Structure 1
Amino acid sequence: MKPTETDGGERPSIVATATGEEETFSFEYDDDAVELTHRERARELFDELIYKPAIVASKDRRTVIGGLLFFGYLLMGTVGVLVYPAPTSNQVDRSIAPFTTVDAPLGSTAVGEDVLSMIIHATPEMLQMIFAGGIFATGIATLIGTVAGYKGGRIDRAITSFSDAAMSIPGLPLIMVLAVVFRPSNPLVIGVLLTINYWAGLGRSIRSQVLTLREEPYVEASRTMGVNTFRILRKDIIPNLMPFILVNFANAARYVVFTSVGLYYLGILPKSVENWGLQLDEAYKNAGALVADGNLYLLVFPMIAIMGIALSLILLAQGLDRVFNPRVRTRLAGKSESNADDAEEQRSTELIH
């Protein structure tokens, strides 16, 4: 049987049947079907990456409060430094009490520096240190912990020995020695320096998690199908570790905040970088905030800034645990979609009647 004429986009093929006869069939290329597939894929990505996480996050007070707090610090570190003047001597009247004038709403120091201006203009450097230290510590720990836990054998023993050696070095004395020797002035470098061996303990914890995850049926199935190690780690292992990684990112960021404040207060880190620890040091040494009447606010407001950013980080980490939990996200997002469908059906019924 000869192949028949076909329209454009249809390609005929000839296949022999069981009786020896030839049968013609064709493959058709449907542009609309391909467009629908791309559209569905884009919708799935939107649902998984934006819609469902947003639904889950909006239902958790911790995520909302922590996000608003941290967003406030981001605004201070970006917009605030542009619209609010930098602190200088004799900027306003000296030793103004807080909440008595709009020129210095949080008061001023003995040399006329606006306390609010000092807090705002120290925020960008603090944010840079937080992100640099948190990303460095959790990134190294995730890389080392996942590879060691998944590969096992000699690789696991070598990485574990290296981590144990790093953990055996006292962290704070090491940071103090490196800070005195190198005197870093870049906030990003300081953030990495503060977490120089923080990753070691976290890496061991992540390794323990991976040792459990690699025995899961879906990981075994991926290995059986010949999926390469990098893809298994990226698709099956690391997504299940994300809640744990996020919580420890917040902990690493809080460690950077408190360590940097302490070292600036002790005068170990250089004073070329603005920091709330420097304000505490100046308030204690020069303003006599602990002994002079009425100067306690010079200590209180920087401490509030420190506690606020630490609180925002831990609330975000606790709340995002639900966002990255597939079961919770699917359940809550499904309820939201069901409620939306019910509301739409009810509106349609009311219009009909």
Structure 2
Amino acid sequence: MLKFFSIILRNKKAAAGMLIVLAYIGIALAAPLITSHDPLKRVTRPHQEPTMEHVMGSTRMGRDVYTQFVWGTRTSLIVGFAAGLIVTVIGTLIGVTAGYFGGWIDETLNFITNIALVIPQLPLLLVLAAFIGQSDPFMIALIIGLTSWAWGARVTRAQTLTLRKRDFIEASEQIGEPSWRIICVELMPNLLSIIGFNFIGSVVYTIITEATLEFLGLGDPLAVSWGTMLYNAQTSSAITVGAWWEVFAPCMAIVVIGIGLSLLNFGIDEVSNPRLRTLGAINKAVKAQKKFDQSYKSAKGAAS
């Protein structure tokens, strides 16, 4: 595990993305220590501009925006990682099972996956959230997790079908190893990059989707998250009255965490993909050669 992290940190994109994500996780974990107010408590006058005491201003209800941002970080990250875990577990189980066993199992699971892929996700989420009513963030995470696994299952199945014909898998079958051991010991380690890509992409999708549903009023208005911050800013006409800070804080929070997770995703893909690793090495060699040629020409010109 430590070797994996050391390899990841050598990639600039992955290192930058991990730094951003760890900063958000630190904010979420330290929420009680770095805030001094209750996120739902009125602590100042309505729509107060940012000051030294309230660095991100206040809402129409006089609530501290900074406090809501910090506690909203905890809620949004928990929802994102929970839904991402559900999506990854379901997608991996279905994809590996279908790709490895084949036959009627593959046909049945592939049929279910195709149905899930055909159904538009966002309209389905809107219908389910509206049917349930004002859902708390964890119910939204469960809904997203149970409806967004199909793409990951399709990608995992395709990679499993490729690995299924490899010599080391066939050799394991020839010596009589049980299927569960082949899947867990031989297949899964070779699917880690796909699984990681699926998990991080699902977290990004969940955070944005949760904020969208709550912004549309389908979440619990008493929950503190980035989505409810945007919803409350909309209902209070924050932009109209010039209280831009109410919208700026949650929007920037979503944008920055999205950038961090995307950079981490791209970095992991570059590290785990041999073609991208080779391309990166070639680019570095070309740049080094250009620098050498320039320095050589400069030295030759100075000598003449």
* Selected match of 1:304 from 252, 262, 274: 252
> 2:241: which partner in 1?
292
TM-score normalised per structure 1? 0.72
* Selected match of 1:260 from 194, 210, 224: 210
Give the match's secondary structure for 2:30. Answer: helix
* Selected match of 1:91 from 21, 24, 43: 43
Instruction: Name the CA shift for 1:279/1:186 in 2 (closer, same or farther; >3 Å).
Output: closer
Distance 2:274 2:109 in 1: 31
Distance 1:269 1:207 in 2: 34
**Native 8 Å contact 2:207 2:254 kept in 1:** yes
Report the alpha carbon displacement of residue 322 of structure 1 after superposing the two structures with TM.
5.5
> 1:143: which partner in 2?
93
Report the alpha carbon displacement of residue 323 of structure 1 after superposing the two structures with TM.
5.8
Give the match's secondary structure for 2:223. Answer: coil
Distance 1:269 1:91 in 2: 24
**Native 8 Å contact 2:77 2:207 kept in 1:** no
Query: Which segment is superposed worse, 310-319 or 151-160?
Result: 310-319
Instruction: Name the CA shift for 1:232/1:226 in 2 (closer, same or farther; >3 Å).
Output: same
> 1:343: which partner in 2?
none
* Selected match of 1:270 from 185, 197, 220: 220
**Native 8 Å contact 1:137 1:195 kept in 2:** yes
Q: Provide, for residues 142-189 of structure 1, a one-character-per-residue CA deviation record: whole Å limited to 9, x for no partner.
A: 101011011111111111112122223332232223223334755333
Give runs of aligned pairs for residues 174-323 of structure 1, distance below 5 A.
Answer: 174-183=124-133, 185-289=135-239, 291-293=240-242, 295-321=243-269
Report how many residues are paired: 276
> 2:280: which partner in 1?
none
Query: Which segment is superposed worse, 233-242 or 54-63?
Result: 54-63
* Residue identity in the other structure for 2:161: L
> 1:10: which partner in 2?
none
RMSD of aligned Cα (Å): 2.3
Query: Which segment is superposed worse, 69-78 or 259-268?
Result: 69-78
> 1:111: which partner in 2?
61
Q: Provide, for residues 220-257 of structure 1, a one-character-per-residue CA deviation record: whole Å limited to 9, x for no partner.
A: 21111211111111122121111122112111111111
Distance 2:40 2:223 in 1: 15
Instruction: Name the CA shift for 1:272/1:113 in 2 (closer, same or farther; >3 Å).
Output: closer
Give the match's secondary structure for 2:146. Answer: coil
Structure 1 gaps, min length 5: 1-48, 329-353
Distance 1:86 1:171 in 2: 35
**Native 8 Å contact 1:88 1:112 kept in 2:** no
Q: Provide, for residues 263-320 of structure 1, a one-character-per-residue CA deviation record: whole Å limited to 9, x for no partner.
A: 111111222322212211222221431x333x22221111000111112222222333
Q: Is 1:80 matched up with 2:28?
A: no
Instruction: Name the CA shift for 1:184/1:228 in 2 (closer, same or farther; >3 Å).
Output: farther
Distance 1:188 1:114 in 2: 24
**Native 8 Å contact 2:97 2:106 kept in 1:** yes
**Native 8 Å contact 1:81 1:120 kept in 2:** no
Distance 2:195 2:134 in 1: 28
Give runs of aligned pairs for residues 49-60 of structure 1, distance below 5 A.
Answer: 49-50=1-2, 52-60=3-11
* Selected match of 1:171 from 121, 130, 133: 121
Identity of aligned residues (%): 32
TM-score normalised per structure 2? 0.83
* Residue identity in the other structure for 1:76: I
Give the match's secondary structure for 1:196. Answer: helix
Q: Is 1:65 matched up with 2:16?
A: yes
* Residue identity in the other structure for 2:138: L
